[in-house]
Amino acid sequence: MGNSLKQGYKAISSRDLRASKSVSHHHTPANRLDEKPKAFMRIEEEDQLDVILDAIEQALKKFQHGTDQIAPAQYVGTLCSGFNDAASMMSTLSQNCESLNSQLTIKNLSAECYTLLCDVLKSASKLHWAGAALSLVVYVLEQVDQGSKNTSECLSLLLAMRDLAKHIRALLPQLPEADEKLKTATSLIAQGTVLCCTHVKSGTFSKLCFAGSTKDSMDQLRKLIEGVYPNLTLTAVEKVLERTSKLTRQISLPLSPSIPVYPSGKVGLDERVDMVITMLEMEDSEMRAVVLHGMGGIGKSTLGDGVYAKLNFTKGRNHCKVEVGESPSLDKLRDLQANIMERLSGKKVRLGDHREGSQCLGQFLGNECQEPLFIFIDNVFNADVLTDLLPEELTLPKHSRVLVTSRDANACPVLEEMGFKCSKYKVEELDLCQARRLLCLHAFGGKEAAEAEAAAEKQNNFVSILRLCAGLPLALEVVGKYLKSRNWDSASKHVVDSLQSCDSLTGNKENRLYRSLEFSYGQLAKADAKSFLDITAFLVDLPWEMVSHVIGEGRLKALEELALIKQKLDVDKVTRVHVHDLLIALGRNKETGIRVWSDGALWLPPALKEDETDMKKIEGLSLRNCKEALPAETLDVLCKSLRVLILENEVIGQCSNSPYQLQLLIIKGAMPFQNLCKLSQLAVLSICEVDMDFKDFEFPRELKALSLECKKLRELPTNFQDLHSLHTLDLRFCENLERLPAGFGQLSSLQMLELGSCKSLKELPDDFGQLQALQYLDLGGCENLTELVPSFGWLHKLQTLELWQCKSLHKLPDNFGQLLSLCELNLHGCESLQSLPDSFGQLSNLNTLSLASCSCLTKLPDNFGSLNSLLELKLTDCISLKEFPESFNQLTTLQLLHINEYNLQTVQELVDCLFIINEDLLYEPISSPWPSDESDYDYSD
């Protein structure tokens, strides 16, 4: 703060809230207040609230980093006035509470604060209520110090108070004069002020000795504060505040990633997430990076996902996530570079090698990207990898951020050499209280947390298990999952005996963690253990559904219940099989030689150069990024036992044998087998970049998942409709595919069909509507597709429909409204589409709709307001959209509306509608946070 403002603060602080000694302790609060000037009555203009908001941000930085901010001279009067009013109220509250003596509790203190606030502002205007809220936040930020108890909880509460203050300021022009929700919000901030001030070392409330017993109260209050406007994000608030003059352009790109879901059931995560977000300093214009570092299994990736999810990028910042992994090959680094560009540009990218990738990435980030970027680089084992992945001279748009998770703390200097202002955050193990809670969560499942912890304390071996797991989240999770639904006494004794027998107590934390994972693996049945080893060797990061066709859904679920594998939704909204690096290492250490992989090596594995007797035992082979060609004769030897085959390298010659036991085949670049139709066990087939047209190709009849990416493919075989077991068909980027065969609608089991970027596809077959099992359809980028067939409305199970960049699509079928299961519809860039069918309003389950860049769309149907499940609507760059139906304000569920400045009158109309839509939502009364009697809300220990 500036010197004059500091002096004002110092003068106020020196009173230490002990002013007004003449106030009698025997008077009622109302009588005592009559002797003092009313607080918060000096805010006369709304602009003064913006001054206080700036002070909140400055004081927050001061609290977090100890920096000294400078306040402009013209702001000093307003800030000192607001601070003085807040100090006066806290001083009065302190003296009021002295009369309570030994009966004083956190609850009584909060109730007294509420009474005082209501008396002070009983007849005040909404401007004064808002000024009170904002001034109290500044006050508490200037009072709380870094040495206070429960600093992380206090910071989380402060951040929630700050966010609520922003909401209040933004919504104030729209609020009625006597708005109860504003009073509730201000009361919550006042209560937060009291709780935070019990943590100030030298403050009046510190003598009450509540600091050690308010942790739970602070957490409960934070949740109440966050619940005042549960469906209104800060992004929406900023749109309201900026109005039409500063509305930010929103354009959804077809390959743009979705924001990950905030990790659930993670103890201690919220406070860490808030701390990292604070370190990122999102409002600062410099390029900044934060490195989350720590040992494996400590929760770095979970923390990173939590930060990414909570930042909730809905405006003005392109974002992406890539996962590096251990010892990535140069080809993998090239693929990651392409992935970054694809996610940020929305366009398919092909690169020669990682050097070309580094150059192209540097040009793309420096020249093509205009908006701030957020790049999350996960799971970096060695910091030097960053120099191969990212350009040497890296220039990003202002306000850009990079988040890195790594076991190597030296990632920070590497990023600093690239021009980042970098901070690092060490992820530590959980404390005893958090570890107990997490173990209970996994071991006792659905029981209420308090009930589970109370029961756990009485269980034998509970403390021993906590000590053996050493506060490591992954160890606590796998051990807890094993104990769940088992007899506690026998199972817990088995855990303790097994882990102690491994001398895990005398080993380091890494050793303890590995032993706990090894214990969990050791409890698997033989068939489940075999499946786990298959996954760790070959199937990590493949789509869950694809792996289920090979392993079986039942076995996947059994491994998931033990936390050995997980389902993970990636940025493409595809659920994949995720396995922690330490568990992958465990599985590969247990390998007996029947599974062979190249693991990024340039040369063929030694196991492929041994005698035939040993080679015939091999059941799985994966050659990825291997430069040495594989002789067809070697593959012939393996054919008898192979169940899994992944070939992404050159094969010399053609095989004379067929692998009849094969369940999964992934081929890239060469097809070594002449005839696949006899492979009756084959469930998953993926063929990419092969020199074939497939015109007369015969696929195995029992195939469940098929992926083809081939430029020569113009049409599918005529007998393709015989694949009655096919669940998933992926034909993306088959640029020359012109049509689907007659009888395509007979694929009665087909649930997912991907035809994205099939640029030559002009029409769908007439029987397309007979795909009664279809749930997901991607036709995005089919530039020559002019219309959908009349039978399209028969797809009653369709949930997601991608039609982005279908530039020739000029209309939707009249029966489009019969797609009653449709939840997501993306029509971005359908520049020939002029109108939507009259039946469109019948889409009762539609929650996400993008009409962005539909430049010829002139109107919406009259029944558009009947979309009673719509949550998000994108209308950016709809330059011909001039009018809206009267039913538009009936969209009572709408939460996010993406618009821009092309038609100012239209935008203003939409913004006004947004307020009408959300009026009930914004002002819906909530129950008072102040307890009415002792049993309602317990603030004590």
Amino acid at 41: M
Instruction: With cut-offs at 50, 70 and 90, classify the pLDDT of residue 355.
Output: confident
Record the tokens describing residue 544, joined without a space: 């869950």
| Tens of pLDDT, residues 820-862 | 999 999 999 999 999 999 999 999 999 999 998 899 999 999 9
pLDDT score recorded for residue 864: 94
Whole-angstrom distance, CA of residue 524 vs CA of residue 562: 9
Whole-angstrom distance, CA of residue 369 vs CA of residue 372: 8
- Residue 192 pLDDT greater than 60, yes or no: yes
- Do residues 171 and 922 make contact, with C-beta atoms less than 8 angstroms apart? yes
Which has the minimum average pLDDT: 162-171, 216-225, 594-603?
216-225
Higher pLDDT, 180 or 21: 180
Radius of gyration of the chain from its Cα atoms, rounded to whole angstroms: 31
- Do residues 192 and 106 make contact, with C-beta atoms less than 8 angstroms apart? no
pLDDT score recorded for residue 830: 95
Q: Which of 29, 239, 171 is nearest to 114 (CA)?
A: 29
- Do residues 619 and 562 make contact, with C-beta atoms less than 8 angstroms apart? no
Amino acid at 61: K
Burial of 613 (0-12, 13-18, 19+ CB in 10 A): exposed
Q: Which of 658, 752, 738, 632 is nearest to 693 (CA)?
A: 738
Residue-averaged pLDDT of the chain: 79
Give the neighbor-by-neighbor strand order of the sheet with 373-380: 318-325, 373-380, 401-406, 288-293, 421-426
Q: Which of 881, 844, 842 is nearest to 860 (CA)?
A: 881
Instruction: With cut-offs at 50, 70 and 90, classify the pLDDT of residue 173.
Output: confident
Amino acid at 872: E
Which has the minimum average pLDDT: 207-216, 418-427, 445-454, 546-555?
207-216
| Tens of pLDDT, residues 28-37 | 333 333 333 3
Residue 406: phi and psi, rounded to 5, are -160, 150
pLDDT score recorded for residue 457: 66
- Do residues 718 and 697 make contact, with C-beta atoms less than 8 angstroms apart? no
Per the rule left: phi > 0, alpha: psi between -120 and 50, beta: everything else, 44 is: alpha
Whole-angstrom distance, CA of residue 830 vs CA of residue 853: 7
The structure's pTM equals: 0.69
Quickly tell me which residue has 């106020």 as its tokens. Answer: 12
Q: 374-384 burial, b if ≥16 CB within 10 A, otherwise e?
A: bbbbbbbbbbe
| Tens of pLDDT, residues 463-479 | 899 989 989 999 999 99
pLDDT score recorded for residue 291: 96
Whole-angstrom distance, CA of residue 156 vs CA of residue 214: 13
| Tens of pLDDT, residues 204-254 | 565 555 545 556 677 777 777 777 766 565 555 554 444 323 333 333 333
Q: Which of 120, 95, 119, 97 is nearest to 109 (CA)?
A: 97
- Do residues 104 and 208 make contact, with C-beta atoms less than 8 angstroms apart? yes
Record the tokens describing residue 722, joined without a space: 């015989």
Alpha carbon of 748 to those of 35, 435, 795, 873: distances in Å? Answer: 82, 49, 12, 33
Higher pLDDT, 546 or 113: 546
- Do residues 400 and 428 make contact, with C-beta atoms less than 8 angstroms apart? no
- Do residues 648 and 686 make contact, with C-beta atoms less than 8 angstroms apart? no
Whole-angstrom distance, CA of residue 307 vs CA of residue 584: 25
pLDDT score recorded for residue 214: 58
Looking at the chain, the whole-number percentage of residues with pLDDT higher than 70 is: 78
Quickly tell me which residue has 């035992």 as its tokens. Answer: 617
Which has the minimum average pLDDT: 107-111, 156-160, 418-422, 723-727?
107-111
Q: Where are the alpha helices (DSSP H) in 445-535?
A: 449-457, 462-469, 473-483, 488-501, 509-522, 526-534
Question: What H or E segment, with its residue span, contains residue 133?
Answer: helix 126-143
Record the tokens describing residue 83, joined without a space: 């601070």
- Do residues 339 and 364 make contact, with C-beta atoms less than 8 angstroms apart? no
Whole-angstrom distance, CA of residue 914 vs CA of residue 826: 21
First vs last C-alpha separation in the chain? 38
- Do residues 902 and 877 make contact, with C-beta atoms less than 8 angstroms apart? yes
Q: How far is C-alpha 47 from the chain's CA centre?
A: 35
Higher pLDDT, 155 or 245: 155
Whole-angstrom distance, CA of residue 48 vs CA of residue 687: 64
Which has the minimum average pLDDT: 444-458, 495-509, 802-816, 894-908?
894-908
Instruction: With cut-offs at 50, 70 and 90, classify the pLDDT of residue 935.
Output: very low
Burial of 529 (0-12, 13-18, 19+ CB in 10 A): middle
Summarize the confidence of residues 316-342 as an average pLDDT. Answer: 84
| Tens of pLDDT, residues 675-696 | 888 899 999 999 988 888 888 8
Alpha carbon of 643 to those of 304, 594, 632, 674: distances in Å? Answer: 36, 10, 17, 18
E-assigned strands of 539-663?
566-569, 575-578, 595-597, 620-623, 630-631, 644-647, 651-652
Burial of 483 (0-12, 13-18, 19+ CB in 10 A): buried
Three-class DSSP category at 316: coil
Quickly tell me which residue has 């009409």 as its tokens. Answer: 851
Higher pLDDT, 392 or 664: 664
- Do residues 377 and 290 make contact, with C-beta atoms less than 8 angstroms apart? no
Three-class DSSP category at 576: strand
- Do residues 620 and 595 make contact, with C-beta atoms less than 8 angstroms apart? yes
Whole-angstrom distance, CA of residue 94 vs CA of residue 205: 7
pLDDT score recorded for residue 455: 67
Amino acid at 764: L
Whole-angstrom distance, CA of residue 87 vs CA of residue 79: 12
- DSSP designation for 135: H
Burial of 657 (0-12, 13-18, 19+ CB in 10 A): middle
Summarize the confidence of residues 810-816 as an average pLDDT. Answer: 95
Instruction: With cut-offs at 50, 70 and 90, classify the pLDDT of residue 527.
Output: very high
pLDDT score recorded for residue 247: 30
Three-point CA angle 90, 152, 54, nearest 5°: 60
- Residue 868 pLDDT greater than 60, yes or no: yes
Max CA-CA distance within the chain? 103
pLDDT score recorded for residue 263: 81
Whole-angstrom distance, CA of residue 293 vs CA of residue 311: 20
pLDDT score recorded for residue 36: 38
Quickly tell me which residue has 């279809």 as its tokens. Answer: 774
Angle, in degrees to the nearest 10, between helices 47-65 and 151-171: 160
Helix, strand, coil share of the chain (percent; to 5): 45, 10, 45
718-722 long-range contacts, CB within 8 A, separation 24+: 718/742, 720/744, 721/745, 721/746, 721/747
Count of C-beta atoms within a 10 Å radius of residue 454: 12
